Amino acid sequence: MPLLELRNISRHYKLGTETVKALQSISLDIEKGEYIALMGASGSGKSTLMNVIGCLDTPTGGEYRLNGKEVSRMTENELATIRNKEIGFIFQTFNLIPRSTALDNVALPLVYAGVKKETRHELARKTLTEVGLGDRMTHRPNELSGGQRQRVAVARALVNNPSIILADEPTGNLDSKTSEEIMILFEEIHKKGNTIILVTHEEDIARHAHRIVRLRDGLVESDSARS
């Protein structure tokens, strides 16, 4: 059974009197341990698809199963639980809490999961060490470089041991050298058995993935494994 199953997923929005068909009919299977890039120009539907996969938005039609659970019909509270337990998010803008240390930023998903403080900090310290920030745990975001901030965000995404790492343009705010370092980190994360879905419009970033799905006008234009 695939980790993630999308069947005829559509997502329509009302804009005044018009209906925008952001996703028309997307069917996609993603297996556990895959490293996949979602690509497409602005307006292709890749951000909407990411929001559906990440349970940040619900489809207008079709079925979405994650780990065998039908999530496309869940309530907001149920979706919040799925987001916390099953999905680790990495954003272009890092989305760190400015006044919190790296350690507290990484431990945040565990707070929502109801994990005890001692265990939270132990797991956060372990994960920060794994992403190369063992010596930056007490630093706040404004005391870190862009690459270090993104490493904190990666550690936060990993700390709950989620089913999927969902990365939205993770190198968009980084220079080319730092971008390459982050993509090497992603490779290491993938080698440990993590499933990564990377949303990008950059070909050189997408080439790190092992499978590329291209979207156009709310449809899958191509789906190919990298040789």
Predicted confidence (pLDDT) per residue in 107-141, tens digit: 999 998 889 999 999 999 999 999 999 999 999 99
Under 8 Å between Cβ of 110 and 131: no
- Name the band, by pLDDT with cuts 50, 70 and 90, for residue 200: very high
Helix (H, G, I), strand (E, B) or coil at 66: strand
Q: How far is CA 20 from the centre of its chain?
A: 25
Please tell me the predicted confidence (pLDDT) of residue 10.
Answer: 96
Cα 135 to Cα 92: distance, rounded to the nearest angstrom: 24
Cα 67 to Cα 195: distance, rounded to the nearest angstrom: 12
Whether the pLDDT of residue 227 is over 70: the answer is no
Q: What is the pLDDT of residues 26-54, one digit of tens each?
A: 999 999 999 999 999 888 999 999 999 99
Q: What is the pTM of this model?
A: 0.92
For residue 142, report the phi and psi dihedrals to the nearest 5 degrees.
Answer: -70, -5
Helix (H, G, I), strand (E, B) or coil at 134: coil
Q: What is the pLDDT of residues 93-106, one digit of tens each?
A: 889 999 999 999 99
Cα 205 to Cα 202: distance, rounded to the nearest angstrom: 5
For residue 41, report the phi and psi dihedrals to the nearest 5 degrees.
Answer: -70, 170
Token pair, residue 40, equals 């497409």
The 10 Å Cβ neighbour count of residue 21 is: 16
Question: Among positive and negative, which fits the CA dihedral 99, 115, 67, 70?
Answer: negative
Comparing C-alpha atoms, which of 70, 34, 14 is closest to residue 210?
Answer: 34
CATH topology of domain 32-58+74-225: Rossmann fold (3.40.50)
Comparing C-alpha atoms, which of 213, 92, 109, 214 is closest to residue 156?
Answer: 109
